[in-house]
Amino acid sequence: MLVFGFRWVGVLALVVLLCACGGSNSSEGDNSELLPTEPGVSPTPVPTLEPGASPTPLPAPTSTPTAIPIPLPSEQPTPVPSETPSPSPTPTLAPPVQPTPIPTASAEPTPEPSAPPSPTPEPSLQPMPSPEPTPQPTPGGDGESLYKLASGSSASCASCHAEDGSGVAGRGGEILNCGTNCNSLSALESKIALSMPIGNAAACDNDCAQAVARYIWTALMGKSLDGQLSCDVGIQKTSPMRRLNKTEIVNAVHDTFGIGSEHFATSLADETEVVGGFATVGTALTTSREWTERYLDAATSVAEDIVAVGEFGMDCSADSGASLPFPPGFSLDGDQCNTTSQCRSVFGQSANDCANSGASNSICMCGGAPCADATAVDNEACVKTALTQSGNALFRRPLSEAEVNRFIGLYTAANDHDSGLQHIIVALLTSPNFLFVLPDDERETIRKLSDRELAERLSLALWGSLPDKRLLELAASGSLYEVLDSEIDRMLDDPKFDRFGEGFVAPWLGLGGYLIEGSDLNVSDEDWALLLEDMRTESKLFVAHIIKNNLPVNELYTADYSFLNSRLAEHYGVESEAGESEFKLTYFPREAHRRGLMTHGSVLAKAYDGTKTSVVKRGVVPLEAFSCGAPEPPDDPEIENAVNDQAAADKTEKEKIAERADPAQPCAGCHAVIDPVGWVFTEFGVAGERVAQDPDGDPLNTGGVLYGEMFADAYEMAAVIADRGDFETCFATKFLIHSLGRRVDKHSREDNCAIENVVESVGGPVGARDFIKAMLQSDISTVSGTIFE
Amino acid sequence: MKISRRSFLRSTTCGVGTMVGLPLLEVMFKSESAFADAPGTFPRFFAMYVPNGIIEEKWYPESGTKREFDLSGSALAAFQERGLKNDISLYRGLTNECDPGGSRGNPHMIAISSWLTGRALPSDRDQMHVPSLDQEIADALPRTKVHSLQLAGNSELDRPNNNVYFNPLKNALNWDRSGRLLPLKSELRSEFARLYAGINEDPTSNIDRRSALKLSVLDDVKEDRQRLINRVGASDAQRLEEYFNSLRDLELQIEALANNNPSEGGQCTRPMEEADIPNPQNGSRNNAIRDHAKIAAQITVQAFSCGLTHAVTYCAGGEAAGCEYRDIGINTHFHNSISHNRSGRYDQWVRIDAFHAELCAEFMYQMKHTPHGGGTLLDGTAVLFGSGLGNGDRHQHTDIAMMVGGHFGRWQHGRYHRFNGRSHADVIDTIRQEIGLPNNYGRNTVPIS
């Protein structure tokens, strides 16, 4: 039995206080149910603690400051004064707060803190009293005192990490060398705000985290604050050079030639190595031997198709001379033909008659003159024209003369005209000038992107393809920046923007890798495939709608409508007049509780693991994708084993949630946010359809508490998350990873500041369209630094 | 190292007699060797991997001494039943190198990524590693028509259901010469087509029109290399280099095909109809892998026979992926429902282990019954069979499954070696030594007799 100081009691008591404050009010002491069943009472899945309970021996903490168990003391803790402060849930980018609706007065540091006030001996879920939604002041004080002294009822940092930051064996790790967590002041701040102190992550938020981080940074690590504080670091980073990804290659071929792209679509593997979920980051887009072999083979097939159909060099008809195999009986001087089509087979399309075809001396006529006399079409010039037309588009710049000569050389060295054309196409497609997004130079200075580089960035980001003629013209004349705003508008209105759904929305939401099969929904596999495709379309159309119509970014999550066809409407259980192939804007009735992307079938279906829907995953998905606030999964093998044990255990979901909320275990720090979010969706089944029972088979009760606010259903929960204001920044982060092709991280001061600058530049609530335009025109998109990210 | 003439001849075709005394490496991998183009002279490599761990106490026979043991009742019974007991050696009690080597991250990913490389990946976020054993062997040998095959029964890639910033790829078995991950292929028919492309199509020409076009283009594209690499920065240049290297590789491969007219040798005829070959889409789930593996065995054996390739791996399934083993009447996700419910699904898991062993035994059986040179295809082929995890339920990397087979170097078989936590990398590096690869990272070798 571990005996720890009162500070530990304090922490756990605080937590107990947070969750058990209702205990003295309610008379539910004997309630052995884990969730109250009265309607209208929102439960929190947080149990009260049994005072004096012996803890299960927890594993020794590792040196990483993530998983430090907090053992319960064995002795009876001293009673707590009732006015114990709790940390405030101020809306920021930072961490989830324990449900703490206790109104408090002042923040008095109490070194001898609390015992659970509730006398109830059994763990049970108590309903929370009406929460105090207004934010509370964070514990005050300078960084040093925050670090060294227990503040509020929390343990002090020093109690685990030692006063000099060197760590305490068995308690907290050394914080002087904490790896990426201390790369920058803002990273340190984020880490503290997000997960410290263990078990009560919200205790030190915002100002507290800032102050403590600064103290650690300066006093303990001895580093300077220079360059860490201001938001005028400018742009230092740049994106790694990358190749075009599979989608972009397919689109490029389609846009340039109109045909043949399906060979790439079928032969190339889907990009699986993605960073941040998006296949635009160069470090992950490789060209292994395997990949290159497939690529070259597909390119050869593409070229065959293009030439066979005549989409390249169409008017470059063959020589009218002696290089052709003449049909039997044909002689240049004598009888040339019997029919016009014979003439065409020799002289090409320009032949339009076989004159005197009845006689033994018929001549092929081209226009008004004998074909044999006609000047041969200048093959080379014609081919050159086709080459430069396609080559300039594929290379995004005019071909140099040397390049043109090389390609013509390939053409003339080939066996015949068609083969020569194929050679050219394959050479164009295999050239790094096509396949890679080449920077203008070595990126050794911080500079603006050139017009051409910017044109490429815009067209790849918005269209998933190569710049069109107009963009290339503007780039060539150096006037793209002047008309940047209207160009982006044009691109958003262009039909090619339809591809944005596949290029951005699909990776952002993760519209792949579903483990559901038809049998899980009692339908055939084909029907499920159709439904899934409809769900994907719904999400893509929805996001495109918000963007194109410049609706607020938050509406992505608070919209009470979506785009449904008849199949989806039936699946969701709402009325619709749409047919099977049309997706109409359909409003949801309030009682459907559906709201925004979080209740899209495509998103809800992701949490199915093959046998059941995971409540935890339903919580993590929106937190990760939409508010960028998902805690990192625990790294500790002991915790993994505990997770497996729980997963295999024969308990109800509600019991498991209660276990995870147990503040004696480190789970609660993260699961206090994940689980209420995941649980609110239990009224939606495996693929987002309405169900009548919760996963345990009990009547539905989807309510919960998040960031100190209660909600009864998904509709209300969406508002709670939206109020925190994380969505815009998170959306910006995701969009920027996609369009810049590099890691964009809110832990990075530079990225953080750059996004803040964008938000400030639009000033106030902004529509999604304006937001995207602002992002693409701001420094983060137009300036290239020297640090490869 | 001294090589007895007998074991040397066992691993080569006859006629190499004058070369006795030289290390295998010299004989085998000098491209000036007169045997450079003769199929069958070179060692071959086959590996099979099973994911999600094993029921370790049932995998090996419970009792037995180093030279006397009975496989019936263990998962490996199939090897005994098919007469392969003296062609294999068991290595029990090994720990996957990822643990002592300090890999961090997803236990599935770090397990599979170190299994065939014998080196621990520092973190599951790393996208580069060292070459795996099969790739090293293929790279050391003269170029074959197809460099190597990375087959999989179930090539489904485990995907996270939330957008984590980086999904550690759990199909990470094979790593190429530049340390890049190679994808697993379950499209057996497509791989077959690669092996036999151009064969029997036009016996009069050495090289078909498409290949001639490719060679012409590949020759031209080299002109851009220096200029582009000079233009970009160093880290960008690496990616361009990778592309140009791949192109060069391709050029050499096509040239090799052009110079090596298969119709002269006469051995390489298509062994079966393409239509009979299963072709589950790469990356999709394949729930029934028995037929797939049997046909893969036939294809492997034929490819080895006529030298189309020398290195084949067969991954039963990617880590954490979910083949349902419907061939043996199990209808549930291997990873999600079975491997993390060990007590509840114990019997099913034992049957899955035995099933995997059957599949590997099939590969070896077919090799053993294919005459080659003076012996069979098993002479000169190194076989490796095992798992990256031990107790997969607890994600432990101790007590993994490991079996070496085939006759190469001085390896003696019919042995049951037991260890207590020795790193499995020692086995990998011993194979490297016995095959004659230059780089074995200086590790200790395990007993091979």
* Domain membership flag for residue B400: yes
* Domain membership flag for residue B240: no
| pLDDT at residue A173, as a whole number | 65
Taking the Cβ of residue A515 and every Cβ of chain B, the question of whether any pair is shorter than 8 Å is answered with yes
- Number of structural domains (chain B) is 1
Given a contact cutoff of 8 angstroms between Cβ atoms, the answer to whether B134 and B313 are in contact is: yes
Question: Which residues are CB-contacts of A441 (< 8 A; sequence separation ≥ 6)?
Answer: B231, B232
* Domain membership flag for residue B370: yes
Given a contact cutoff of 8 angstroms between Cβ atoms, the answer to whether B307 and B144 are in contact is: yes
* Domain membership flag for residue B201: no
Among the listed ranges B4-13, B59-68, B134-143, which one has the minimum average pLDDT value?
A: B4-13
- B314-323, pLDDT tens digit by residue? 999 999 888 8
Q: How far apart are CA A276 and CA A241, in angstroms?
A: 16
- B201-260, pLDDT tens digit by residue? 555 555 678 888 999 999 999 999 999 999 998 888 988 998 998 899 888 888 877 765
Taking the Cβ of residue A433 and every Cβ of chain B, the question of whether any pair is shorter than 8 Å is answered with yes
- A443 with B236: Cβ contact below 8 A: yes
- B161 with A614: Cβ contact below 8 A: yes
Q: Which B residues in the span 130-149 are in contact with A, Cβ-Cβ below 8 Å?
A: 147
- B217 with A290: Cβ contact below 8 A: no
Taking the Cβ of residue A674 and every Cβ of chain B, the question of whether any pair is shorter than 8 Å is answered with no
Q: How far apart are CA B7 and CA B449, in angstroms?
A: 13
CATH number at residue B71: 3.40.720.10
Closest CA to B154 of B260, B304, B52: B52
| pLDDT at residue A124, as a whole number | 36
Mark the ranges of chain A whose per-residue pLDDT is less than 70: 1-141, 151-155, 169-174, 176-181, 183, 193-203, 205-206, 227-230, 273, 315, 317-334, 357-360, 368, 372-378, 632, 634-637, 725
Is the Cα torsion angle A682, A687, A692, A696 positive or negative in sign? negative
B-chain residues near A432 (CB < 8 A): 221, 224, 228, 240, 243-244
Given a contact cutoff of 8 angstroms between Cβ atoms, the answer to whether B142 and B37 are in contact is: yes
**pTM given for the model:** 0.70
What share of chain B has pLDDT > 70, as a percent? 84
Tell the residue number behind the tokens 């497609």, with chain if given: A429
| pLDDT at residue A684, as a whole number | 94
Q: Is the pLDDT of residue B359 over 90?
A: yes
Given a contact cutoff of 8 angstroms between Cβ atoms, the answer to whether A278 and A506 are in contact is: no
Q: Which B residues in the span 158-187 are in contact with A, Cβ-Cβ below 8 Å?
A: 159-167, 169, 176, 178, 180-183
Maximum separation of any 2 CA atoms in chain A, in Å: 122
- A272 with B333: Cβ contact below 8 A: no
| pLDDT at residue A154, as a whole number | 58
- A410 with B216: Cβ contact below 8 A: yes
- A432 with B322: Cβ contact below 8 A: no
Closest CA to B108 of B424, B336, B447, B378: B336
* Domain membership flag for residue B172: yes
Report the SS3 class of residue A111. coil
Q: Is the pLDDT of residue B273 over 70?
A: yes
Structure tokens at A559: 């919209």
A-chain residues near B132 (CB < 8 A): none
B-chain residues near A647 (CB < 8 A): 340
A-chain residues near B209 (CB < 8 A): 419
- How far does the CA of residue B88 sit from the closest CA of chain A (Å)? 32
* Domain membership flag for residue B21: no
A-chain residues near B147 (CB < 8 A): 289
Q: Is the pLDDT of residue B10 over 60?
A: no
Tell the residue number behind the tokens 């390609």, with chain if given: A407
- Pick from A409, A625, A788: CB nearest B163: A625
- A515 with B333: Cβ contact below 8 A: yes
Q: Is the pLDDT of residue B32 over 60?
A: no
Higher pLDDT: B179 or A88? It is B179
Question: Which residues are CB-contacts of B127 (< 8 A; sequence separation ≥ 6)?
Answer: A273, A283, A284, B180, B181
Secondary structure (DSSP) of A198-266? TT-GGGS-HHHHHHHHHHIIIIIT----TTTS-S-----EEPPPEE--HHHHHHHHHHHHSS-HHHHHH
Taking the Cβ of residue A281 and every Cβ of chain B, the question of whether any pair is shorter than 8 Å is answered with no
Q: How far apart are CA B137 and CA B141, in angstroms?
A: 6
* Domain membership flag for residue B111: yes
Q: Which B residues in the span 292-351 are in contact with A, Cβ-Cβ below 8 Å?
A: 322, 332-333, 336-337, 340-341, 343-344
Closest CA to A630 of A619, A640, A641, A614: A619
Q: How many CA atoms lie within 13 A of A742 on its CB side?
A: 18
| pLDDT at residue B201, as a whole number | 53
SS (H, E, C) chain B: CCCCHHHHHHCCCCCCHHHCCCCHHHHHHCCCCCCCCCCCCCCEEEEEEECCCCCHHHHCCCCCCCCCCCCCCCCCHHHHHCCCHHHEEEEEEEECCCCCCCCECCHHHHHHHHHCCCCCCCECCCCECCCCHHHHHHHHCCCCCCCCEEEEEECCCCCCCCCCCCCCCCCCCEECCCCEEECCECCHHHHHHHHHCCCCCCCCCCCCHHHHHHHHHHHHHHHHHHHHHHHCCHHHHHHHHHHHHHHHHHHHHHHHHHHCCHHHHCCCCCCCCHHHCCCCCCCCCCCCCHHHHHHHHHHHHHHHHCCCCCEEEEEEECCCCCCCCHHHCCCCCHHHHHHCCCCCCHHHHHHHHHHHHHHHHHHHHHHHCCEECCEECCECEEEEEEECCCCCCCCCCEEECEEEECECCCCCCCEEEEEEEEECHHHHHHHHHHHCCCCCCCCCCCCCC
* Domain membership flag for residue B355: yes
- Pick from B163, B231, B249: CB nearest A289: B249
A-chain residues near B240 (CB < 8 A): 241, 432, 436
Q: Is the pLDDT of residue B424 over 70?
A: yes
Question: Which residues are CB-contacts of A657 (< 8 A; sequence separation ≥ 6)?
Answer: A34, A45, A615, A671, A675, A679
Paired sense of beta strands A237-238 and A351-355, if any: unpaired
Q: Which B residues in the span 404-433 are in contact with A, Cβ-Cβ below 8 Å?
A: none
Burial letters A258-268, b for 16+ CB under 10 A, else e: ebbbebbbebb
B-chain residues near A293 (CB < 8 A): 246, 250, 253
Among the listed ranges B20-24, B337-341, B353-357, which one has the minimum average pLDDT value?
A: B20-24
- B336 with A508: Cβ contact below 8 A: no
Structure tokens at A130: 């009406």
Please report which helix (H) or strand (E) contains residue A194, including its range: helix A185-195
Q: Is the pLDDT of residue B37 over 70?
A: no
Q: How far apart are CA A416 and CA A615, in angstroms?
A: 64
Give CA separation, A600 vs A257, A606, A623, A688, in Å.
37, 10, 15, 7
Taking the Cβ of residue A289 and every Cβ of chain B, the question of whether any pair is shorter than 8 Å is answered with yes
Give the domain range for residue B93. 31-187+263-273+289-435
Structure tokens at B328: 């043996």
Strand (E) positions, A466-525?
A: none
| pLDDT at residue A195, as a whole number | 63
Taking the Cβ of residue A330 and every Cβ of chain B, the question of whether any pair is shorter than 8 Å is answered with no
Paired sense of beta strands A125-127 and A369-370, if any: unpaired
Strand (E) positions, A523-622?
A: 561-564, 584-587
